[in-house]
Amino acid sequence: MGDFGSFYLRHRKELFHYLLRMTGDAALSEDLLQESFTRFLDRYGREDPTLPLLFTIARNALFDHWRKRRPLPSGDWSGETGGENPEEGVIVREEARAVLRALGTLPEDERDLLSLAVTGGLSYREIAAVSGLSEGNIKVRIHRARRKLRDLLREE
Amino acid sequence: MKEEWISQFIDDELTLDEKIAFVGTVHEDGPFREECLDLLRQEKRLREPPSRDVPMPALSPRPRRSLLSFRPLQWALVLLVAGVALVLARNLSPPAKEANVPYRFVVYQPGADRVEIAGTFTGWDRVSLKRSGNSGYWEIVLSLPPVEHRYSYVIDGERTMSDPTVPGRERDDFGGENSIIPPGGMA
């Protein structure tokens, strides 16, 4: 499969877990995973793929989806797998559901930045490039998100 | 002391000078130390992959066109073609379904820890091959319909390769190659 094939195999897991942390919905994350790589190929071809560009495209795909679907029901963040039949799709780990639920209650921008940081592979500088924020802003917001998450998980 | 240093430490974003100051503060400041430990323990939970499985959707770089973007003339053409197809389908009896036949896939990869196969017959999901003793060969026998199949091997979950024993190849969407077995298998 060449460079892009290796890139796809190496990073689809990180991207899928970023999307799962952002949406809490495995079926939607799978659709967005496919959409992200497809958009990448359509717009940039297979030469020299980069992780920040992939995440930029994935975030745009996710925000496009949300713009069409807004408003999200506030209590819909169960961390359950998507689809009618969980046996047919990706199963969200039982122990991860509390974390996903807590992430789902964070403000969207903080959930986004923290998910980008913990999903792996992106430095603060790259997250700044992906999000359009300054590195200084990234540091503050990521730490604020971690502290909020700790408080939320304590309440579980 | 900058509180954000805890997150920068977790994310490996501290400079060397900041690391020195950070470690000093951890030694001297009990509440700061406790917060570091709290957030580090949380980080372990947070970084656990939320799912064991990760889907491997088939990808296409071809631009997709929505039917909604068709003009009236194009819609008329689509309806005409659909109508002709419907008439033809009614007049043709369905082809007899041919029985599956065993296909044996073998590849020599003595240095690999894991070898998988992904192809049209698996929906491009990966299926593991079994190591054949200490020979360096990996193999699997699959029962497949006698139609054309396209596939490649995935070595240690990272590297892909076409089947060196099969002459039929095609460039895939990612700049690599898939192997092609014609209907009925290799002669």
pLDDT level of residue B175 (50, 70, 90 thresholds): low
In angstroms, the CA A132 to CA A60 distance is 12
Percent of chain A beyond pLDDT 70?
84
Cβ–Cβ pairs < 8 A, chains A and B: 136
Buried b (16+ CB within 10 A) or exposed e, B25-57: bbeeeeebeebbeebeebbeebeeebbeebbbb
pLDDT of the residue at B174? 66
Strand boundaries in chain B, DSSP class E: 101-108, 115-119, 126-128, 130-131, 137-144, 149-155, 159-161, 169-171, 177-181
Residues 10-39 of A with CB under 8 A from B: 10, 12-13, 16-17, 20-21, 26, 30, 33-34, 37-38
Give me the residue from B46, B50, B172 closest to A1, CB to CB: B172
Torsions phi, psi of B145, nearest 5?
Answer: -65, 150
Q: If you ran DSSP here, which 8-state letter would residue B166 be given?
A: -
Q: Does domain B101-181 have CATH number 1.10.40.30?
A: no
CATH topology of domain A2-155: Butyryl-CoA Dehydrogenase, subunit A; domain 3 (1.20.140)
Top residue of A19, A23, A36, A38 to mutate, by most chain B CBs within 10 Å, is: A38
Q: Which residues of B touch A146 (CB under 8 A)?
A: 6-7, 10, 39, 42-43
Q: How far is CA B124 from the centre of its chain?
A: 7
How close is the nearest chain B Cα to the Cα of A98, in Å? 10
For the stretch B45-86, pLDDT in tens is: 999 888 877 887 776 554 444 444 556 666 677 677 777 777
How close is the nearest chain A Cα to the Cα of B117, in Å? 13
Can you count the helices (H) and strands (E) in chain B? Answer: 4, 9
Closest among B115, B155, B156 to B132, alpha carbons compared = B115
In angstroms, the CA B152 to CA B172 distance is 10
Residue B96 has pLDDT above 60, yes or no: no
For the stretch B119-154, pLDDT in tens is: 888 877 788 999 988 888 899 888 888 788 888 888
Retrieve residue B26's tokens.
Answer: 């951890």
| Other Cβ atoms closer than 10 A to B62 | 10
pLDDT level of residue B39 (50, 70, 90 thresholds): very high
Beta pairing class for B126-128 and B169-171:
unpaired
Residue B94 has pLDDT above 70, yes or no: no
Beta pairing class for B177-181 and B126-128:
unpaired
Summarize the confidence of residues B92-97 as an average pLDDT: 54
Q: Which residues of A touch B175 (CB under 8 A)?
A: 1-5, 46
Q: How far is CA B176 from the centre of its chain?
A: 14
Q: If you ran DSSP here, which 8-state letter would residue B63 be given?
A: P
Give me the residue from A8, A16, A96 closest to B55, CB to CB: A16
In angstroms, the CA A47 to CA B127 distance is 28
How close is the nearest chain A Cα to the Cα of B73, in Å? 27
pLDDT of the residue at A95? 81
Q: Is 0.85 exceeded by the ipTM?
A: no
Q: If you ran DSSP here, which 8-state letter would residue B176 be given?
A: S
Give me the residue from B39, B49, B60 closest to A38, CB to CB: B60
How close is the nearest chain B Cα to the Cα of A71, in Å? 25
In angstroms, the CA B7 to CA A141 distance is 10
Domains of chain B by residue range: 4-47, 101-181
Residue where the block lists tokens 């000093």: B24
Domains of chain A by residue range: 2-155
Percent of chain B beyond pLDDT 70?
79
Each residue's pLDDT, cut to its tens digit, for chain A (156 residues) gives: 457 888 888 899 999 999 999 999 999 999 999 999 989 988 888 778 889 999 999 999 999 998 877 555 444 455 454 444 444 557 777 788 899 999 999 999 999 999 999 987 799 999 999 999 999 999 999 999 999 999 999 887
